[in-house]
Chain A
Amino acid sequence: MKKNISINLFGTLYNIDEDAYNLLENYLQSMQRYFGRQEGGEEVADDIEHRVAELLWQRREAGMTAINIETVKEIIDTIGNAEQIAGEDKQESGSKEQGQYERSDGQYSRSQGQETSFKEEFNQFANDAGKLARDAYDKGYNHVKTHRYYRCANDKILGGICSGLAVYTNTGDPLVWRLGAIALTLLGIGLPLPIIYIVMWLVVPAALTPEDRLRQQGKQITPENLTQQVKEDSQQMIMPARETHRGCLIAIIVVLAIIFVVPFIAVLSTFFKMWMNMIF
């Protein structure tokens, strides 16, 4: 059994399951945001909405009474694959890869030269080390350029800082980051960590939209990727969220309490002990 709501699309009412509605709403919104940035793009998004309405109408004429999530997925599959844009991107990255391959090939043949003297060997070594460092730098630079750090609004214990780091660094399990942070704090090395955590909580935005989640993973915002992400979100029951800083405020109060109240109590208790000693 599923909760059902009714929507009005260009003057026609449709009954739609709640999860199907969320998926559809997300899809249309992300298309609007994507095409809205381009000139005349609102019109394209509007065309797509009309097309959705038409496909729904056709299905209703064919006897479908309530729209379920499978239907919405079908419709998204029919419309959503903007192969053109994704295709162009693919082509560019392909040629880049080839260039890199050729370059490393050249280096390989150079190192094959016979009878390398010590100097040459050393140069080779320095070259290799330099190349390694350069590669690492390039890789890091690329990563920073393509990925954006967000807090995970959908996978969080406090602010989603750790799960955000896990996604950003592509290290998979946020549990490692969480345990690490707790361990460092308890061991005393990471005493400023709670403060840093709260500052990050305040400063770093949360990943709220499917676009945010794409940027977080370093994927490009193409209609194809968006569609994919919207579908994944609906599978993982991620709803478009609004950001509240209530949790953060509570955390600040707790930390302030620990910083100020605990020493205060300690001082009080010493005084109390001294006072007792004086009396007796």
Chain B
Amino acid sequence: MNTDNTKSQMRKGMLEYCIMLLLHRQSCYANDIIQRLREAEMIVMEGTLYPLLSRLKNDGLLGYEWRESTQGPPRKYYTLTADGEEALRQLDASWEEISRTVNFLKQ
């Protein structure tokens, strides 16, 4: 059985949640997000990130502001909106459920 597809589906579902998780603590711009995901050993292609961020923003879960930088081009800092916080709580709950199920079945 080829597990590649299942794995990529899993990652796709997780990515949104992970991004919201890390924006919950502090506002980040794309490079921060990429660095943090890399630290967390989450494999992600950069190209997939931008459409995702843009979608979350259009759904009203994320907001952003431009900040000038002395270290290169201006940066777009994303933050979680109130709606985003609410969505994150729901995702948290659903993640708890999933991990409980998986842990239970693994025993």
Residues of A within 8 A of B (CB): 9-12, 35, 39-41, 43-44, 47-48, 50-51, 53-54, 57-58, 61, 78-85, 87, 91, 223
Check A54–B54 contact: CB distance below 8 A.
no
Given A44-B51, A81-B47, A84-B48, residue A54 in contact with residue B31 (CB < 8 A): yes
Check B73–A54 contact: CB distance below 8 A.
yes
Contacts of B73 in A (CB 8 A): 9-12, 50, 53-54, 57
- Which among B46, B57, B74 has the highest number of chain A CB atoms within 10 Å? B46
Check A50–B30 contact: CB distance below 8 A.
yes
In the complex, whether B95 has a CB less than 8 A from a CB of chain A is no
Check B45–A91 contact: CB distance below 8 A.
no
Specify which of B45, B50, B71 is in contact with A47 (CB 8 Å cutoff). Answer: B50
Check B54–A43 contact: CB distance below 8 A.
yes
Contacts of B100 in A (CB 8 A): none
In the A-B complex, the 10 residue pairs with the smallest Cβ-Cβ separation, listed nearest first, are A57-B72, A10-B73, A53-B73, A82-B47, A47-B50, A84-B48, A81-B45, A44-B50, A83-B45, A79-B46
Specify which of A10, A44, A50, A51 is in contact with B54 (CB 8 Å cutoff). Answer: A44
Given A10-B74, A43-B54, A54-B31, residue A91 in contact with residue B47 (CB < 8 A): no
In the complex, whether B87 has a CB less than 8 A from a CB of chain A is no
Given A10-B74, A40-B58, residue A48 in contact with residue B50 (CB < 8 A): yes
Residues of B within 8 A of A (CB): 5, 8, 12, 30-31, 45-48, 50-51, 53-55, 57-58, 71-76
A44–B47 CA distance with the chains assembled, in angstroms: 9
What residue in chain B is nearest A227 (Cβ atoms)?
Answer: B47
Contacts of A53 in B (CB 8 A): 72-73
Check A47–B76 contact: CB distance below 8 A.
yes
Check B47–A80 contact: CB distance below 8 A.
yes
Q: Can you list 23 residue pairs at the A/B interface with Cβ under 8 Å?
A: A9-B73, A10-B74, A12-B72, A40-B55, A40-B57, A40-B58, A47-B76, A50-B30, A50-B74, A50-B76, A51-B30, A51-B31, A53-B72, A54-B73, A57-B72, A61-B71, A81-B47, A82-B47, A82-B51, A83-B8, A83-B48, A85-B48, A91-B5
A41–B55 CA distance with the chains assembled, in angstroms: 10
Given A40-B54, A43-B54, residue A54 in contact with residue B72 (CB < 8 A): yes
Check A47–B54 contact: CB distance below 8 A.
yes
Check A84–B12 contact: CB distance below 8 A.
yes
Contacts of A83 in B (CB 8 A): 8, 45, 47-48
What residue in chain A is nearest B71 (Cβ atoms)?
Answer: A57
